[in-house]
């Protein structure tokens, strides 16, 4: 799309377009924290993503990953580590996770537990991620598992843990939010959570889910709507707010890796749990491209909808519309024909 097309579509001048491009390239300062121990450090230089580059998504399918209500811990461990190793082409666990985090990083693991116990990131998927981060040399005191609401986290089996020198499991309320509202083009706005700002690196661990407003919720939405005080402020403009807010350096510069818990697929009635529209999917995804991941998520959701004789998302007024602008802002690849989905069968 040319600059002229962009301004006509989004009501922005050429100068504003160039400003947005500069923002997407990274450069806004991040401020604030709850206390000295939680102060946001100066933004670290970004690590080079996996050599496979943008548009590459690894899908590790293991039949029997889910046993009963939850994933089998050993099966989940094998699938998660295989996905990360395959993505960066390294067989050693420490080297694989070391592609994305350094020993001096403060690593946040952003889960999604909004949907209730059976529509949340599974503990069995997060545990091996912690193992991998530790293997890369990050001490427990510099690892944090976090999300919005403490009650939802406990319901999803992530018990609160806030002790000196240990891995932290906390919700946003523990550190609070910035006083100032962050505003981006396209209707993006919200007070950033200081749990996010505490980190220098984030591993994003979303789900494959239908969403009643946006069509799907996966990589990008988990980091944007899941890291601000009042995400509903952006609901009416999600097509533009979601890409622009993700492009803010506070988010974009921190997310090093996305590991998607595809134990299940919620293909209708989301984001809350809908047992009538939840399928066992037995798949873990890994990528450095959040846009490509959202594209694959939409494809998976649409496939299950078709198999269960449900209309496509666009036909029920919930089209997935943020991919093209996200690609234009340089956040990843949104064109399915240019995405390489590498599937591993275990």
Nearest to 149 by CA among 102, 115, 191: 115
Nearest to 10 by CA among 241, 235, 215: 241
Res. 330: pLDDT tops 80: yes
Confidence of residue 70 (pLDDT cuts 50, 70, 90): very high
List b or e across 113-137, with b for residues whose CB sees 16 or more CB atoms inside 10 angstroms. bbbeebbbbbbbbbebbbebbbbbe
Residue range 211-238, pLDDT digits in tens: 999 999 999 999 999 999 999 889 889 8
Residue 92, SS3 per DSSP: coil
Nearest to 200 by CA among 290, 287, 123, 100: 100
Average pLDDT value for residue range 171-188: 96
Q: Give the model's pLDDT for residue 164.
A: 87
Confidence of residue 52 (pLDDT cuts 50, 70, 90): low
Kindly state the percentage of the chain with pLDDT values over 90: 80
Residue range 85-101, pLDDT digits in tens: 999 999 999 999 999 99
Residue range 278-320, pLDDT digits in tens: 999 999 999 999 999 999 999 999 999 999 999 999 999 999 9
Which pTM was predicted? 0.86
Q: Give the model's pLDDT for residue 116.
A: 87
Give the least confident one: 46-60, 61-75, 170-184, 326-340.
Answer: 46-60
Angle ∠(83,146,291) on CA atoms, nearest 5: 50
Confidence of residue 244 (pLDDT cuts 50, 70, 90): very high
Sequence-distant (6+) residues with CB within 8 A of 265 are 208, 209, 278, 279, 281, 300, 301, 304
Q: Give the model's pLDDT for residue 23.
A: 35
What is the overall mean pLDDT for the chain?
Answer: 87
Average pLDDT value for residue range 27-52: 41
Domain 49-345 adopts which CATH fold?
Rossmann fold (3.40.50)
List b or e across 315-332, with b for residues whose CB sees 16 or more CB atoms inside 10 angstroms. eeebebbbbbbbbbbbbb
């Amino acid at each position: 799309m040319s600059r002229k097309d962009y301004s006509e579509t989004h009501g922005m001048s050429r100068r504003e377009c160039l400003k947005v491009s500069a923002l997407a390239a990274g450069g806004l300062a991040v401020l604030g924290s709850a206390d000295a121990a939680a102060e946001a450090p100066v933004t670290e230089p970004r690590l080079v993503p996996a050599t496979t580059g943008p548009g590459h998504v690894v899908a590790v399918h293991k039949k029997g990953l889910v046993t009963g209500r939850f994933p089998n811990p050993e099966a989940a461990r094998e699938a998660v580590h295989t996905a990360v190793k395959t993505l960066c082409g390294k067989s050693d666990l420490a080297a694989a996770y070391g592609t994305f985090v350094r020993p001096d990083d403060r690593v946040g693991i952003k889960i999604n537990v909004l949907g209730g116990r059976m529509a949340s990131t599974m503990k069995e998927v997060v545990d091996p991620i912690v193992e991998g981060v530790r293997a890369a040399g990050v001490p427990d005191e510099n690892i944090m598992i976090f999300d919005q609401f403490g009650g939802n986290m406990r319901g999803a089996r992530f018990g609160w843990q806030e002790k000196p020198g240990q891995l932290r499991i906390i919700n946003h309320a523990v550190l609070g939010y910035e006083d100032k509202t962050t505003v981006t083009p396209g209707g993006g706005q919200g007070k950033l959570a200081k749990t996010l700002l505490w980190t220098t690196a984030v591993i994003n661990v979303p789900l494959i889910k239908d969403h009643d407003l946006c069509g799907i919720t996966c990589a990008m939405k988990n980091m944007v709507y899941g890291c601000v005080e009042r995400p509903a402020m952006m609901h009416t403009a999600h097509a533009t707010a979601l890409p622009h807010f993700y492009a803010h350096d506070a988010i974009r510069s921190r997310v090093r890796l996305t590991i998607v818990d595809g134990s299940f697929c919620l293909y209708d009635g989301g984001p809350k749990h809908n047992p009538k529209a939840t399928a066992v999917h037995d798949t873990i995804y890994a990528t450095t491209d959040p846009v490509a991941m959202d594209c694959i998520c939409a494809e998976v959701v649409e496939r299950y909808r078709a198999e269960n004789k449900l209309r496509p998302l666009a036909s029920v007024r919930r089209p997935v519309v943020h991919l093209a602008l996200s690609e234009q802002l340089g956040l990843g690849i949104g064109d399915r024909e240019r995405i390489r989905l590498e599937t591993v069968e275990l």
